[in-house]
Structures are given as structure tokens and as C-alpha cells.
Amino acid sequence: MGAPYDNGVDVETLRRVRCAAIRARTAAPGEGVTVTVPRTPNGSDPPAPPAPPVPPALRKSLGVVDGVAIAASSTAATTSIGIGLGVTAGIVGLHLPIIMLLGFLPILGIACAYSRLNRVEPNMGSGYVWVGRSLSPWLGFLVGWIAIAATVVFLSYTTTVTGSATLQLVGEAGLHELAGLRLDPDSTAQATALGILVLVAVTFTAVVGTRSAANLQKYLLVFEYVVLLGFCGYGILFGPHPFSLDWLNPFTIPSGHQLAQGLLLSVFCYWGFDSTFSVNEEVRDPQDASRAGFITLFTMLGLFLLGSFAFQRVLSLDELTANGAQGLTYFGDRLADQPLAALPLIALTFSAVASLQSGVIPTVRGMFAMGRDRTLGPLWTKVSPRYGTPAAGTVAIGCVAASVAVLSLVIPKVGDVILASVNAIGVVVSLYYALTALAAATRFRGALRESWSEALRAVVVPVLSALFLLGLGGYLCWSFYTSVDHFEISPDNGWFMLLCPAVMVLTGLVAAAWAKWVRKSPYFVTGRSIAPAEPGITEAA
């Protein structure tokens, strides 16, 4: 006899029950199978095996427009135009239009890979799930981890940007001093302190519900885009500087390093379109996530080209590079008098607030998927019974972002914080986008035996996009490494620029080892993520 369980059923009895059940399932049609179910010593039937636990689920409340609002807010076109164009012009000169166009092409290939993977396996873990299944659980975990780390860095620097924009806005209203303290938009300490207050507020709205957050972002986006279209359209028509074909010639950029860094900044500007895939379990039709991603991406292309041409028509190169983080404010002042000149600054502030909120939402959803697989702790899978959102994880990620924002105080100027953050994020984003595209090419490699057009879309374009991004990130890492011979906490120091993405990757490998050998996550055994709960389940069990 086998060893008895506490309920009186021994191992041998359970084995006989399982064997009888297998014979019943494999019997030929019409063939009778007699199953004798043994009883426990007290005469009762053996207990049925426990049902597998139902994975927690989030409420399905979003449509295409909601997905566009979240992805567009995460991409933050107004912030990228208002801040990123000045930073990029400092590297590539008056070549902003062609840099934004060239950066769009590989990202379009990445979007095609995301869309195809989402079609067959919609999961809020997105790249973490798809790469883990098609390439390797270690690479899949790394994709999920660096996406989280990059967004935390993004949230921390956007916290500072939000505070800086608010201080600029207060200054335009005539308040330059408060309680004896001179208000300085370029002070990291002041901007971070004010930005953290905004971060607390947007974290609360993300807790209350994704739907309410998306609604808020719609109103903010409408205002931002109306202001952008109005000012940039006017600048293109009446700017003092003539058009030049050289703006569209990448071969006149002074060096390959400048071209590569400009492309990396361009890729960073498009980063965030994939936020819509992080809420695909909350979208009523998962294919709406793909539609929202493409709509967002092409909208961003149009806005970035519009902004690039407008800035170069209105501002000289010296003006672009000198104003940096205050580029949009200066642009508005050149085109209009107060109070109209303040509208671009208000739009920038709204964009920063919206991107803070939309940064929190997809990050927590990715961690929800990882927690569901036990690659992260149970905190990230707790769903609020009242709001149907991962409230505990949302608050936690807001606290982490605020802590990292405080750490950034070692860099005294806002512009330097932006440059250091953008370069670090650009490198790791290139890595995880590339791995996701390679996962798509691997998963759909059977398309190579179909039509040439299907092979091109499913395999060739994702592979070329991935190789481009890997080459770009690798070249820049090598350039950072060879540019200096000592370490210094400065955005001008190559070793510091290399340290930030290296820390993201190395901590990801350590966290993966912990998940595999300490948490003993089944994800590292099967390479598969736990599927989302069935539609209709709206709250955690």
C-alpha cells in the first residue's frame, strides 16, 4: 500500500482512479468501459482533484480611441517636440526632419511585429511573453525587466520635466519668487520636488481606473494637438528662415557618431506606441490594440515632421541648442505675444502630466503579467475589488519612480538629466524592441514558405528592423566606452552614459536568476506565460 494522505486516500488508490479515467478517455466510440472507483476506508468517495486557480484579470473597458489616448500620451509628442528637438539639434544640427523620418522606419517594422504577435497571443506582458516563448525565457524576462527599468527612468526624468514646465508656467504668470526662494525652472531640486507632487496625483488617477485615466488623457491630447498644429503650422508658413534641401540630406551630418546618436534620440521619441499592447487585456477587442498602435505611430510621425520643419523655419541652430529644455517656450515667444505665447508651454505641461500617467499604467500591467508567472512577487497581481486595477502595484511603481527622481538630484541641471536619461533609455529600448521583432520572425518563420509578400511582412522586415536597432545600440555603446578614459557623473562622460543601460541589463539578469532558482517560476521551465483569464472575468477571484 502506498503512503496514506491525511484524508485517508492512499497513493495506490489515486493511481487506480487516474488509470481508469485514462482508459475511459481513450476507449473507442461505443466501447463500454467499466470504472470501479475505490472508496476511502470510511466509505466515502475520494475527493475530486482541486480545480486550477483562475488567474486574476482586469476589467475590459477600453476601445481603439482609449488605446490611442494611452499610447499617444506615453509617446508624448508635445514633450518630444518641446524638449527633444532642441537636444537632437544640438547633435545633428539642422537635420531634424530626416532624422525623425529615418528613425520611424525601423520602428514601423517593430510595430508590424507587435501587431502580428498580438493577433495570435494578446497578453499584457507583450514582449516579455512573446520573447520568452519564441526565443528564451531568460531573454523574455530580460525584455520585461528592461522595459520596466526604462519606464521607471522615464518616469523619474519626466517628473523633473513636469516640475520644470510648471515652474516656467508660473514664471510666465509673473511669479518668480516664493517665500524668499527664487524659482528656477532649470533647478533639478525645485523641478523634482514639484514634479513629485504631480506624480502623486496622476498615480491616484491610475489607481481609480484605466478608463478614467484614458478619458483625462483624451482631453489633454486634444488641447496639446490643437496648440501644436496652430503654432507649428503658423511657423512653417511664416518662419523667417528659408526651407533647405540640406535638412533632408543625412550625408551632410558631420560624423557617423552624431548620426547614430541622433537616430537613437529619434527612436526614443517614438518609444511608447507599444503602451497600447500593455493594456490589450483591458481592451474589449484585442485587435483594437494593434489598430491603436499604428494610428498612434503615424500620428507621431506627422507631428514630429511638422515640429521639425516649424522649429527650423523659426529658430536658428544656435537658438535651438541654447534653449534645450525650454525650446517650446522660446518658440512660442518668437511667434506670439503674451498671453498667446504661453499656450505652447501649457501644452508642454499637459503633455508631461499625461506621459507621467501613461507611463505608470503600462509598466504596472507588464509587472502584473510577470507576477502572474511568479517571476515577480505577488504584490503586482493584487487587483482592487473596487476599481478592477492593480492598485497596490500602481502605488508601488509611483514610489519607485519618485525615489529614482530624488537620486537624479546628483545632476544639478534639468537639461543634463534629460540627456543622460534619454541616451540610457534609447539603448535599452533598442535592445528590447529588437528582441521582440526577432521573436516575431522566429515564430512566423513558416511564412518564408508562403508568398514573398507574406515572408517580407512576417520575417524580413522585423529582422531588418531588429538588426538596425541592435547595430545602432551596439555602435553607441562602443562609442561611449572609447570616448573617455575616466568616470564622471555627467552626460558628457561616455562611461557614465554606458553605466546606466549596463545597470538595467545586469540587474535584469540577477532578477531572472532569483526568479528561476529562488521563486522557482514555471516560466523558466516551460517558456510559457500564464494565459489571461477568460473574457467576462472582471475582478480577481
Q: Is 130 domain-assigned?
A: yes
Same domain, 154 and 230: yes
Residues 71 and 30 in one domain: no
Query: Per mean pLDDT, which range of 3-7, 53-57, 507-511, 535-539 is the poorest?
Result: 535-539
Does 16 score more than 80 pLDDT? no
- For residue 87, the one-letter residue type is V
Domain check: are 10 and 71 in the same one? no
**Structural domain contains residue 54:** no
Claim to verify: residue 269 and residue 201 sit in the same structural domain = yes
Least confident of 143-152, 415-424, 515-524, 526-535: 526-535
Sequence-ordered list of residues with C-beta below 8 angstroms from that of 252, at least 6 positions apart, any chain: 95, 246
- For every residue of 356-402, DSSP letters joined together read HHHHHHHHHHHHHHHHHTTSS-GGGG---TTTSS-HHHHHHHHHHHH
Is residue 50 situated within a structural domain? no
Q: Following DSSP, what letter does each residue of 108-165 receive, concatenated?
A: HHHHHHHHHHHHH---TTTHHHHHHHHT-HHHHHHHHHHHHHHHHHHHHHHHHHHHHH
Single-letter residue type at 41? P
d(CA 55, CA 129): 15
pLDDT of 25-44, one tens digit each?
Answer: 444 444 444 444 445 455 55
- Residues 87, 1: one domain? no
Count of CA atoms in the C-beta half-sphere (13 A) of 239: 23
Residue-wise pLDDT for 468-480, tens only, equals 999 999 998 998 8
Does any domain span residue 359? yes
In this predicted structure, what is the pLDDT of residue 33? 44
For residues 410 and 291, the model is more confident at 291
As given in the structure block, the three cell numbers for residue 264 are 537613437
How far is it, in rounded angstroms, from Cα 481 to Cα 499? 10
> What CATH number should be reported for the domain holding residue 480?
1.20.1740.10
CB of 101 closer than 8 Å to CB of 510: no
Co-location of 18 and 147 in the same domain:
no
**pLDDT score recorded for residue 532:** 64
- Total structural domains in the chain? 2
Confidence of residue 55 (pLDDT cuts 50, 70, 90): low
Tens digit of each residue's pLDDT (9 = 90 or more) over 304-333: 999 999 999 999 989 888 876 677 888 988
345 within a domain of the structure (yes/no)? yes
Neighbours of 148 (CB within 10 A): 23
Q: Is residue 204 part of a domain?
A: yes
> Cα Rg for the chain, rounded, in angstroms?
26
Mean pLDDT of the chain: 82
Let me know whether 378 and 306 are in one domain.
yes
Helix 188-208 and helix 210-238, axial crossing angle in degrees, nearest 10 = 130
For residues 156 and 195, the answer to whether their CB atoms sit within 8 Å is no
3-state secondary structure of 521: coil
Contact criterion met (CB below 8 Å) for 275 and 362: yes
Residues 78 and 182 in one domain: yes
Place of cell 489571461: 532
Residue 209 has pLDDT above 70, yes or no: no
- Whether 102 and 7 share a structural domain: no
280 inside domain: yes
Are 144 and 283 contained in the same domain? yes
* Structural domain of 373: 64-520
Picking from 482, 521, 420, the residue whose alpha carbon sits closest to that of residue 137 is: 521
Identity of the residue numbered 523: Y
Q: Report how far residue 362's alpha carbon sits from residue 275's, in angstroms, rounded to the nearest whole number.
A: 6
In a domain, 124, yes or no: yes
Does 94 lie in the same domain as 31? no
CB 56 within 8 A of CB 392: no
For the stretch 138-187, pLDDT in tens is 999 999 999 888 888 888 888 988 888 888 888 877 777 776 778 888 78
Say whether pTM exceeds 0.85.
no
Q: Which of 145-159, 220-234, 272-286, 476-490 has the lowest mean pLDDT?
A: 272-286
Lowest mean pLDDT among 168-177, 225-234, 239-248, 456-465: 168-177
Q: What is the pLDDT of residue 46?
A: 52
For the ranges 202-216, 232-246, 286-300, the maximum mean pLDDT occurs at: 232-246
- Whether residues 108 and 243 share a domain: the answer is yes
